[in-house]
Amino acid sequence: MLETQRTIGKAVSMSGIGLHTGTSCTMTFKPAPENFGIRFVRVDLGGSPEIPAVADNVVDVSRGTTLAIGEAKVHTVEHVLAAIVGLQIDNIIIELDGIEPPIGDGSAMPYVEALQRAGFEQQKAPKDYLIIDETVMYQNDERQVDIVALPLDDYRITVMVDYQNPALGSQHTGLFNLEAEFITEFAPARTFCFLSEVEHLANSGLIKGGDLDNAVVIVDHDLDKEELKRLRDKIGLDRDFELGTNGILNNKQLRFKNEPVRHKLLDLLGDLALIGAPIKAQILAARPGHKANVEFAKMVRKLYQQKKIVRKYQLVKKEGVVFDVNAIQRILPHRYPFLLVDKIIHLDFDKKVIGVKSVTSNEPFFPGHFPGQPIMPGVLIVEAMAQTGGILLLNSFPDPSQKLVMFMGINNVKFRKPVVPGDQLFLEVELGTRRSKVVNMKGKAYVNEQLVAEGDFMAAIIDREEKKEE
């Protein structure tokens, strides 16, 4: 795998119609600077809005992957993204004068050939790999979908499909080396559907640009000549349909014996580009589809964002510690004597955080609370939980240091047991509902696994005021 970032050498264009919208579009690939990422640009819209290719911008997965920001949309991006990732391109601008890229022949090969004509340019910045160091798993029992990422110092994908349909049966494939296998073994694999799906897709307003030159139609039930003619007219094609004898409409020849599952791998490769970074992992997928692919990409993207922020604040890696006190002081504005969390030992963004506060006899509040019988004030335990909870919101803002988290309400607070010098508080905070800049959190504090305090609190996120020069 490449170690430095890559873009293309020059601009290159291609034109055609979109698979689902049937609209014409010219797509131009352009070089981009280091750390730019992959961005679609709708040059036909006012202001030429940009849509970064990340999972956060997915708005529809009904039959392909659609990205949008506001009114600007791009349909069916997965084949384009697969070509970009397959060629290990990190930074690129994709300009479109329409809503959907040209479908070409239904594979990623037309995009690969265009990008090869543009040539490649190695950049100086190192690739920002997401290295999977723990198992990440997605399951959908209803659809029998499983996708797993396992630690591996490389990028490999294995896919199995089983539609429980005798026309296709069970198929599997694997990509083990992007450079050696992608262009020849996977980029040419074309999109496919079952004959029984065609009318439903047409009724749903899809495949307006579909024909037998850009899709493989698998015959999974019989139709007579009149039904085939009606189907042809419904789609708007001017050529006749015939069931054929090889299981593919009009006797179309497959490029690979297992071309359908190879295309599923291609789709998965493109959808995983939405993580927003190249990854090192072994991906195992059973019965993947765009919905599952994108949900999995969101899970892994959250892991990527978390690792990126941890690297930003935790300068020295420590076993069992997400953030030490130095990192916490880079995040929170609190200082002695009111910084009440010493380290963060667990962090799952937008879900849960665990902090630790070691309570010593040197705490400034003990001499007055109470003389001769020191007890940590309950309100400070709540404050410690709130400070810990503030770490949960790191993923929500480009620069957390410019924000403050302030109490709006405290409810259902209970103090179960006194906290005294020598105790170590474990502060668990879970994120509840969130509305714009107002969040609800539930906190619990433990000593020796015994619950000592708990409460619900509401907080507002506000801008931190700049210091004015005197």
Block mean pLDDT (10 aa), the chain, length 470: 94 95 95 98 97 97 93 97 98 98 96 98 97 95 95 97 80 96 98 83 74 82 78 72 82 92 97 97 97 97 91 89 94 92 92 96 95 96 93 71 80 96 97 87 97 94 60
**Whole-number Å distance between alpha carbons of 84 and 417:** 58
Are 410 and 377 in contact by the 8 Å Cβ rule? The answer is no
Check residue 395 and give its pLDDT: 67
Alpha-carbon span 392 to 417, nearest angstrom: 26
Contacts with 134 (C-beta within 8 Å, 6 or more apart), sequence order: 151
Give the residue carrying structure tokens 């329409």. 98
**Beta-carbon contacts of residue 173 (< 8 Å; ≥ 6 apart):** 158, 159, 258, 261, 262, 265
- Nearest C-alpha neighbor of 383 from the set 439, 339, 446: 339
Report the catalytic residues: 290, 369
Contact 198, 227 (CB under 8 A): no
Whole-number pLDDT of residue 448: 96
What are the structural domain ranges in the chain? 4-189+260-309, 192-254, 315-463
Instruction: Please say whether the beta carbons of 332 and 388 come within 8 A.
Output: no
Q: What is the pLDDT of residue 15?
A: 97
Confidence at residue 400, expressed as pLDDT on a 0 to 100 scale = 67
Q: What is the pTM of this model?
A: 0.85
pLDDT of residue 401: 66
Question: What pLDDT score was predicted for residue 137?
Answer: 97
Helical ranges in 317-427 per DSSP H: 325-331, 378-391
pLDDT value at residue 468: 41
Q: Which CATH class is domain 4-189+260-309?
A: alpha beta
Q: What are the backbone dihedrals phi and psi of residue 404, each rounded to the nearest 5 degrees, phi first?
A: -125, 145
- For tokens 């384009």, the residue is 80
DSSP states along 117-162: HH-EEEEEEEP--EE--S-EEEEETTTTEEEEEE--SSEEEEEEEE
C-alpha to C-alpha distance for 261 and 438, rounded to whole angstroms: 45
Class in CATH terms, 315-463:
alpha beta
Residue of 140, 138, 160 lying closest to 148 (CA atoms): 138
